[in-house]
Chain A
Amino acid sequence: MRFALRRLAFFVVTLWACLTLNFMLPRMMPGSPITAMMAKYHGRVTPQALQAIENAFGVDTHASLVTQYVRYLGDMATGNFGISLTVTGEPVSQVIKSAIPWTLGLVGVTTVLAFVLGTLIGILGAWRRGGWLDGILPPVFVITSAIPFFWIAMMLILLFSSQFHLFPPAGAYADTLTPSLSWAFVSSVVRYAFLPACAILITSIGGWILTMRNTMVTVLAEDYIRMARAKGLSGPRIMFWYAARNAILPNLSGFAMSLGFVVSGAILVEYVFSYPGVGYMLLQAVQNEDYALMQALFLLITVAVLVAILLADIATALLDPRTRAAR
């Protein structure tokens, strides 16, 4: 219990740090991109929206820093992120909503898949030490995890799109279709998502496999594994209930930490495939100097990662009785 509370407190503190970072950055930078940005808003937004943007970026120099900060926090809490320049005139919160499902689908599903598959392969590789699987795993996956996400994406486009015309190179679904739950639409979505998903899967799975294998190898050398063999337990039982159950614990927190890494790669993959997710939108926002949208997206991504980490911590606490014990 104490453990969960501590993690929750950390979550809150980090969130606060990000909000403050978002607040301080525009006020710290050299040059005057903000004034240039403000000029773009003229005549296009309601006075309240203008006010919110001014709060967020400190344009209103009459109020003290503290007042601005408080107003800013209030805006953040109510979801008032300002008005987007990319989709001109639309409130940022609306704009973001359209992108979230795509990223959640692509990145979310692929990451979970990579974690599950990677962990299983890592377990098997460690279990059969000296086998062929254990021999090829380390070198192959060390190399794949060093390849840039976006290059893999480009190579996949090269092979399967330009050369063999199997999969489309851009977009989330065919232009001719409108979103619905029809089979035509869903299958189109899957088809368009296939290459990006492969790109993310290929590069991220290596990390899971290797860390799981390394942890398993350390665990397999422990006495309680030998004890389990001595008791006459079957191989699979030992592998899962004694070895994997212990080995996965440090991996769960590793999962959380590398989530940031996966998110980074996903942004680039979305860019290469012009996949209309959160990452792609972030890059567009930066290119359009749409700082309001950019900051909101940054916050969104950060919060998502923090929540995932919190969930992973809770899962660790549930699985490991040693952390549960309030000592």
Chain B
Amino acid sequence: MAATGLSTGPGQAGPGQLPGMAGPAGAAPGAWAGSAALGRLWRAVRSNRKAAVGAAILAVFCVLAAVPGLIAHDNPEADAYPRSLGPSAQHLLGTTAYGQDIFAQAVWGARETLIIALVSGVISTVLSAVMGIAAAYLGGLWDGGLNLITDILLVIPTFPLLIVLVAYLPNGGLVPLIAVLVITGYSYGARQLRAQALSMRDRDFLEAARVRGERRLYIVFVEIIPALTSLIVATFLGTAVYNVLAAAGLQFIGFGDPNSLSWGTMLYWAENNAALQTGQYLWAIVPGACIALLGAAFALLNYAFDEIGNPALRPVRKYRTRHDA
């Protein structure tokens, strides 16, 4: 006869979970779940307006980063132009106090900013996944130990820590920057993934794999991780936002290499030349707007994934009937 009739509503958010993320979208067992999940994700992204906007912005920036030369013809580093010009036909966004074309700088700057965001995002997500899932699956002392490290790093205020770390490494380039971003940023995702992995630990399909005699590593890679796909993607997007903002912030204060070309360093030079006070507004506005747009793109995608994972959060249509009060 029929099942018990218990309805499944939006699940309770587990401990340490982002409120609203109640679970992976349609977690299904098996390795093929990975590709099925990705297919579902793609369809979901297409139909969700926020995700579409975010993805579009991200795509634009990726194009800028890949082929900047096609879009901006001027050399961003040559200070060959007249200084501090306003926008004009030759210089779409004007020039800096050093005679550089702002538009060219913005376009070329996309590359470094995007690289930082993506590389640190990927490494950070991998680290989160390893720390979180390993802790959940290995349990016992491993869980306690890994968890303690993660919790401590989670709680220490990141920016001051970043400043201290970078202060001791004044000659750092991209590599130390990415390294410190990863160390300070992985902990939030690790906590989320651990909580979700824990709640999955007793699910039937994992039990079945254990009974089949599969090795632990197999279970982790082939069963657990594909089921966590949407959460892992969400973690990546969240870290990407954090990395973009943190990197920009550091560069703004003058850490990292001030001679490199990225939006953060543009702002650094703008601030140093009192751009706002001297009326060179675009110099300050443009790179900041770019950072905000890129961050917003990741954030929109992240939020859309929250909605995809938890249908209760989706926009609700009011149903008008003749009994509506």
Contacts and interface: CB of A to CB of B under 8 A. Distances in A.
Are chains A and B touching in the complex at the 8 Å CB cutoff?
yes
Contacts of B306: 214
B139 interface: no
B152 A148 contact: no
Nearest to B245: A148
B160 A282 contact: yes
Interface string B1-41: 00000000110110011111010000000000000000000
Contacts of A158: 276, 281, 284-285
B296 interface: yes
B156 A14 contact: yes
Given A139-B50, A210-B303, A214-B19, A146 B148 contact: no
B248 interface: yes
Interface of B: 9-10, 12-13, 16-20, 22, 50, 148, 151-152, 154-165, 167-171, 188, 241, 245-246, 248-249, 252-254, 267, 271, 276-277, 279, 281, 284-285, 288-289, 291-292, 295-296, 298-300, 302-303, 306, 310, 312-313, 315-318
Contacts of B16: 253
B179 to A, nearest CB: 13
Contacts of B245: 146, 148-149
A240 to B, nearest CB: 18
Given A147-B296, A217-B313, A260 B155 contact: yes
Contacts of B170: 33
B315 A218 contact: no
B50 A215 contact: no
Q: Is the interface of A mostly helix, strand, loop or mixed?
A: helix
B299 A146 contact: yes
Contacts of B156: 14, 17-18, 260, 302, 305
A66 interface: no
Contacts of B161: 298
Nearest to A295: B164
A137 to B, nearest CB: 11
Contact of A263 (B157, B277, B310): B157
B249 A150 contact: yes
Nearest to B162: A264
7 contacts: A134-B316, A147-B296, A154-B271, A155-B285, A169-B276, A221-B9, A260-B156
Contacts of A282: 160, 163
Given A130-B316, A142-B296, A268-B249, A151 B160 contact: no
B89 to A, nearest CB: 25
Interface in A252-290: 253-254, 256-257, 259-261, 263-265, 267-268, 271-272, 282-283, 286-287, 289
Given A142-B50, A142-B299, A257-B188, A302 B292 contact: no
A245 interface: no
* The 4 nearest A-B residue pairs measured at CB: A264-B159, A214-B20, A146-B295, A151-B288
Contact of A14 (B155, B292, B317): B155
A263 B17 CA distance: 22
Interface string A1-40: 0000000001001100110000001100111010000000
Nearest to B306: A214
B218 to A, nearest CB: 34
Contacts of B158: 260-261, 264
A143 interface: yes
Contact of A301 (B9, B160, B169): B160
Contact of A264 (B157, B254, B299, B318): B157
